[in-house]
Amino acid sequence: MTTIEVKTTTADYAVKVKIGSLMTVAQAIKTVWTPRRIALITDTTVGALYADQVQTQLMAGGFTVTVLTVPSGEASKSWAQTMRLVEALSQAHFTRNDGVVALGGGVVGDLAGFVASIYMRGISLIQLPTSLLAQVDSSVGGKTALDLPTGKNLVGSFYQPDLVLIDPQTLTTLPQRMLVEGYGEVVKCAALVGGDFWKLLQSIQQPDDILLLAPQLIARSVSFKARVVMADEKEGGQRQLLNFGHTIGHAVELLGRGRWMHGEAVAMGLVAVCQVFEAQGLTPVGTAQAVAARLAVVGLPTELPDLALNTVLTAMRHDKKVHGDQLTWVYLAALGQPQLQPVPLTDLATWVAPALTTVA
Ligand SMILES: NC(=O)c1ccc[n+]([C@@H]2O[C@H](COP(=O)([O-])OP(=O)(O)OC[C@H]3O[C@@H](n4cnc5c(N)ncnc54)[C@H](O)[C@@H]3O)[C@@H](O)[C@H]2O)c1
Ligand SMILES: O=C(O)C(=O)C[C@@H](O)[C@H](O)[C@H](O)COP(=O)(O)O
Ligand SMILES: [Zn+2]
């Protein structure tokens, strides 16, 4: 078992990574929660695979469990599902002493986390992430979110869980496309960290290698993310670095309307931002190609689709790193040396243009 401690101004919790840990989930939860009622929030796909097993374990451990299921997919990060879930909690008389357990990928984690943060102004939360993306990134750090038609994650809260329990065994049921998209966030972390983490990616030459190295990739990604979150929980400064590749990535994800998964859009965004900053002379020439090589080897997309510049710019203006009349970008001064660069909104078109294949 690898344990990574996260200590922020609002919470102290452990991220535990252990193969098979979902089989002893009640034991782990009892280390942080007394017996209580649990809303086990999951999606249709993950629920069908794991909800019974988790519910049985929790009930044997003395918890009372209500399973609440949302449709799989990004569209569930919505007001409609939020309303359904908080109303279900209320109708079942959940109180402030009860808790929410999120069982699923990043969608379930973001949605259930948001629900836990607003129901009765906040009830306890535990994350049981089951996708690679959720295990390396979204379950840790306390960002919860819903999407709006204008942009990704525009509603949400910072709300830390009491425990994150990661069982890499769940990745064996994850379809290859979802395994690979989660790897997009691993490449992001490795590019930010550089050194041995970046070198480790040389061992990944095909999607199966991701599964083989999953415990290591999870531990390294989470350790890095935990360090950043502990230094800057609410993204006043260096937490913005975790948004590397997301400025263009989120725009592409939104404009694709479900065509690309988050990690795929981030993969395109990582290469694109390196191209943008190579053109500005701030990222060493060849970085975009080096990043693209690590992504392409597992089949992640590395070239932006044809998108009209004005639609990309409109989506980017909803980025939460817009402060006043500037958007802060994350770029690599070198692998392992990320920097923040504010760019006036009026200059965005000139900056972004080199990354787009079609300028309309
Ligand atoms: N809060 C954060 O810090 C943070 C970080 C990164 C991404 N995100 C968000 O996470 C979301 C993407 O997460 P995701 O890629 O996990 O998507 P997802 O939650 O939609 O999961 C992808 C698919 O895999 C299925 N699945 C999950 N685990 C499975 C398993 N073990 N076996 C079989 N199927 C399984 C899901 O049902 C879904 O169909 C996006 O909304 C993104 O914005 C949040
Ligand atoms: O945890 C963070 O901070 C991140 O930026 C991690 C990102 O991978 C993640 O996609 C996050 O949800 C994006 O946050 P947002 O604030 O840009 O919506
Ligand atoms: Zn992300």
Label residue 358 by pLDDT band (50, 70, 90): very low
Atom of ligand 2 nearest to the CA of 154: 18
Domain 176-355 homologous superfamily, CATH: Dehydroquinate synthase-like - alpha domain (1.20.1090.10)
CA of 120 to the centre of ligand 1 (A): 26
Half-sphere exposure of residue 195, counting CA atoms within 13 Å on the CB side?
Answer: 6
Active site residue 243: yes
Ligand lying closest to the C-alpha of residue 182: 1
pLDDT of amino acid 357: 60
pLDDT of amino acid 123: 98
Q: What integer is the mean pLDDT of 33-46?
A: 98
Active site residue 225: yes
Q: Is the pLDDT of residue 359 over 70?
A: no
Active site residue 235: yes
Catalytic residue among 181, 262, 278, 294: 262
Alpha helices in the chain (DSSP H): 25-30, 44-46, 52-60, 79-91, 106-118, 132-133, 176-193, 195-200, 207-212, 214-231, 246-256, 262-279, 287-296, 309-316, 348-352
Amino acid 169 reads Q
Q: Is the pLDDT of residue 50 over 80?
A: yes
Catalytic residue among 143, 188, 220, 294: 143
> Is the distance from the beta carbon of residue 107 to the nearest atom of ligand 1 less than 6 Å?
yes
Question: In 3D, which of 137, 77, 172 has the Cα closest to residue 266?
Answer: 137
Q: What integer is the mean pLDDT of 323-343?
A: 97
* DSSP β-ladder status, 326-334 and 337-344: antiparallel
pLDDT of amino acid 115: 99
CA dist list (Å): 257 to 11, 126, 155, 306: 35, 30, 18, 14
Return the domain boundaries, the chain: 2-173, 176-355
> Is the distance from the beta carbon of residue 150 to the nearest atom of ligand 1 less than 6 Å?
no
Q: What integer is the mean pLDDT of 303-327?
A: 93
pLDDT of amino acid 356: 82
Full-prediction pTM beyond 0.95? yes
| Mutation pick for ligand 2 pocket among 139, 242, 320, 323 (CB with most ligand atoms within 8 Å) | 242
Label residue 308 by pLDDT band (50, 70, 90): confident
* Mean per-residue pLDDT of the chain: 97
d(CA 227, CA 354): 33
Q: Span 2-173: which CATH code?
A: 3.40.50.1970
Residue 37: helix, strand or coil by DSSP? Answer: strand
Q: What integer is the mean pLDDT of 280-309?
A: 96
d(CA 174, CA 84): 27
Catalytic residue among 220, 250, 264, 294: 250
Q: Is the pLDDT of residue 354 over 90?
A: no
pLDDT of amino acid 360: 37
Determine what percent of the chain is predicted with pLDDT higher than 90.
Answer: 97
pLDDT tens-digit readout, 205-241: 999 999 999 999 999 999 999 999 999 999 999 999 9
Amino acid 290 reads A
CB-CB neighbours of 12 under 10 Å: 11
* 124-129, strands of its sheet edge to edge: 2-7, 12-17, 163-166, 124-129, 99-104, 37-43, 64-70
d(CA 229, CA 259): 30
pLDDT of amino acid 316: 95
Q: Is the pLDDT of residue 55 over 50?
A: yes
* DSSP β-ladder status, 12-17 and 37-43: unpaired
d(CA 273, CA 283): 9
Q: What integer is the mean pLDDT of 165-192?
A: 98
